[in-house]
Amino acid sequence: MAIIKQGVFSWEDVLTQRYQSDKPSALPRPRRRTLAGRSQNPKADDTRQNAGYQTESLMLTKLSPELRLIVWEEALGGFRLHIIQRSHRRLGHVICPLSESCEICRGGLPQPVKDGEAPSEWNLLSLPMTCKQIYRETIHMVYSLNAFEFSNTWSLTYLRPTIPQERWDDIRVLELKWAFPGHWLPSKDPVKSIYVWAGRQQWIETCNAITRMKGLEVFTLSLSGKWFGEPAEKIPIFLEPLRGLKLKRKWVVQLPEQPYYRNEMSKLNVVLQKRGIDCCIEEA
């Protein structure tokens, strides 16, 4: 990390402070329950555990768990979620319409939601937050049945500390767009070299978070934006931090639609396999 000198602020300091200032607060550590804190009356414990169940809800009392499971899956699964940054260091999601009109897919940003104003899109967390019983039955579906897409280079590392570990492990499908110009290109320009350093640190932190996702099944890394212009021989070096990512099927790297990359794809796939990087290079 950059060393901040009194009265002197470098570009490294600015980038570091910007990263920290936008970073959401992490979840508080869960308190450990001791034997002294438990009730000596088993019936009281049972009453406390069942307090979240809605005995007056016909859907929860008359509908079988198997049928409720089908209802929850239809309501909460099968979406592509854009993870975005809200105001006041908060994260949110936007359900992708899966059409060419999606502003985020085209590289734009959603309109910010002000405090006290209802978002235009349906929030998937609305159903799980209805009551404790529905939360227990559905919260894992939000993470396991949907594709998570990150277009901002910091959002993935921001999200990780804000959700419980078991929810992070529930994520099965992940899409990541990475934006940085000339990330691995050497430069004698001191300003550019600082941005290269800052981008590298973000990238390594992101790769560490991805390789620790226990439930991940599908991963797509998109480098297809107009900002990406690395030479083909640098791409295996760039992907090196993801060497430890081993999925049931190869994860995908999407490169820009350029003749240069198209002619190098077969060679790149061979080089990556020799390096032990279990991915497949494709054209976006």
Tell me the CA distances in angstroms from 82 to 28, 132, 140, 152, 165, one per residue in order. 25, 26, 18, 10, 20
Residues 25 and 162 sit within 8 Å (Cβ to Cβ): yes
Q: Terminus-to-terminus CA distance in the chain, angstroms?
A: 35
The residues pairing with 42 across neighbouring beta strands, listed in sequence order, are none
pLDDT tens digits for the chain (284 residues)?
Answer: 445 444 444 545 555 566 666 677 777 766 665 555 454 554 444 444 454 456 777 778 888 989 999 999 999 999 999 998 777 777 888 898 887 778 778 766 655 555 554 444 568 888 999 888 999 999 999 999 999 999 877 788 889 888 999 999 999 999 998 765 444 445 556 555 555 555 677 788 889 999 999 999 999 999 866 556 667 888 888 899 999 999 999 999 998 888 888 888 999 999 999 999 999 999 87
Q: What pLDDT, on a 0 to 100 scale, did the predictor assign at position 45? A: 46
Residue 201, SS3 per DSSP: helix
The residues pairing with 8 across neighbouring beta strands, listed in sequence order, are 5
pTM for the full predicted model: 0.77
Strands (E) in the chain, as ranges, are 80-85, 91-95, 147-150, 173-177, 218-222, 251-255, 279-283
Q: What pLDDT, on a 0 to 100 scale, did the predictor assign at position 108? A: 65
Token pair of 217 as six digits: 């099944």
Token pair of 17 as six digits: 């402070």
Q: What pLDDT, on a 0 to 100 scale, did the predictor assign at position 28? A: 74
Q: What pLDDT, on a 0 to 100 scale, did the predictor assign at position 227? A: 54
